[in-house]
Structure 1
């Protein structure tokens, strides 16, 4: 009886070891297959020849993205509202041949057309667009003026549309990508923010539509939704100053 028990125990242990070996072998084979597939399909960029166009590079996200991508070797076209402003001077001070600082008011058709001509003249092509420029206006629906809604929309919504419509042919040619910077405030609503909310909700659906339209061309379209980064962006600075002035805060 004892011999039968030990034989059964040995058989069971061997079965467990065999099963473990089979599972381990299958797992390792699957891992190798995934690695080979990833290596074969890996997107390798010749970064020095791939241009990236970024709006809103005076401060915040745009400034740091332009700076770091240029330092990494990418060709960067950094759009700034104030060509003699602090951010523009800091970028030029890097003295990088791959970094082009361009005057760009995204509400100006002529500025956007000139930016297109600048990109084309450099012969690098354009692999990516980052629509980062943004502007914020506080105000309840009842008290915010139509002009305030229009002003915010010109920067946050029509600005990206201008950039996309003008530069998209270059990105389509390179099968690159478009990144629109929205906000978590484009996903929900809160009182006193309707002017800003409406533009960011619009950017969300604009991005979704563009993504579907660009699938057949191999162009990737993504949206970035930052949270509250007051210290990293100046999009609320004019409104803070206005608020402090109205309520006589030092």
Structure 2
């Protein structure tokens, strides 16, 4: 039998949302996609022509090692790794338990580093690329986004450092910064924020209760008006396939606007912009 000719792409966090849409878009473009999912039922839902689901929790060393072995055993070149897996956990810096900070960084930063380290030898052989899915939260941090944005800021820094290390060796490193995307992640994020807010002390609730509600309202409205997962996936596919990709791509008008403002406005002015935007989302009694 002849060897398969389609190049490999790895997409983490492909169970639903942006990851699943990215896997489908890249398969449609002729890649063989190793799609990381957490559960067998997610694998069954995603499996199709060009998509091979693999059970992958990026925080589990044995899962990452198994993925690296699967790639090493394949005769096809590894064209790209799309580090997409992520969770959203919001809460005020004072009130967010430290174990939640560690959980966010394990998934949204250290897991991506682990996958990248494991697959870089294959990427170097194939002169492939790393595509890290960041966020507008990787360039500017709204209130209660300390943990999430902190991990995304760090991912942006890691991407810059990695790019300067491996692009001379033929491996491209690209960051994609989505704004609001209509996926289950934001819905889960609101539910998580409400659960964590219920654990605040009365004093913390007095200080931050209205703020948490305002952020949740803003997140919900921003998600509802945001890109579809399929539209965001086409931006990721561009980062994967463009011969000479930019170092960063935004996805969505909100991402382009907010990141553009963050580049030019002084911090205090940007603070006032965020405060004004949030004001109409506060509960009436606390606005």
- Deviation of 1:136 (Å): 0.8
Partner in structure 2 of residue 101 of structure 1: 53
Which of 145, 151, 161 does residue 193 from structure 1 map onto? 145
Whether contact under 8 Å (2:133, 2:177) holds in the other structure is: yes
Distance 2:157 2:116 in 1: 14
- Deviation of 1:151 (Å): 0.2
- Deviation of 1:243 (Å): 4.5
Which of 151, 154, 171 does residue 202 from structure 1 map onto? 154
Q: 1:137-164 CA distances to partner (integer Å, 9 max, x unpaired)?
A: 0111100111000000000000110000
TM-score, normalising length: structure 1 = 0.73
Distance 1:243 1:178 in 2: 31
Question: What are structure 2's unaligned runs of at least 5 residues?
Answer: 199-287
Distance 2:173 2:25 in 1: 21
Distance 2:135 2:23 in 1: 19
Task: Say whether residues 1:89 and 2:44 are aligned partners.
Answer: yes
Whether contact under 8 Å (1:138, 1:196) holds in the other structure is: yes
Q: 1:75-111 CA distances to partner (integer Å, 9 max, x unpaired)?
A: 11100112223xx22221x2x2x32110000100100
Task: State which drifts further: 68-77 or 102-111.
Answer: 68-77
Distance 1:161 1:80 in 2: 18
Distance 2:162 2:40 in 1: 30
Distance 1:48 1:80 in 2: 24
Partner in structure 1 of residue 176 of structure 2: 224
For CA contacts below 8 A with separation 6 or more, give which structure has more relative contact order: 2
Q: 1:18-63 CA distances to partner (integer Å, 9 max, x unpaired)?
A: xxxxxxxxxxxxxxxxxxxxxxxxxxxxx94311011000011110
Against the structure 1 CA distance between its residues 243 and 198, is the aligned structure 2 distance closer, same or farther, given a 3 Å change threshold? closer
Count of aligned pairs between the two proteins: 195
SS at match of 1:240: helix
Q: 1:217-244 CA distances to partner (integer Å, 9 max, x unpaired)?
A: 1111010000111x13x33343323445
Distance 2:193 2:167 in 1: 44
Distance 2:170 2:71 in 1: 21
- Deviation of 1:169 (Å): 0.5
SS at match of 2:137: helix
- Deviation of 1:128 (Å): 0.5
TM-score, normalising length: structure 2 = 0.64
Which of 117, 125, 145 does residue 173 from structure 1 map onto? 125
Partner in structure 1 of residue 165 of structure 2: 213
Partner in structure 1 of residue 98 of structure 2: 146
Distance 2:16 2:44 in 1: 11
RMSD of aligned C-alpha atoms? Answer: 1.9
Distance 2:193 2:138 in 1: 23
The structure whose Rg is larger is 1
Whether contact under 8 Å (1:48, 1:75) holds in the other structure is: no
In the TM superposition, 1:1-250 aligns within 5 A as 48-85=5-42, 88-92=43-47, 94=48, 96=49, 98-229=50-181, 231-232=182-183, 234-243=184-193
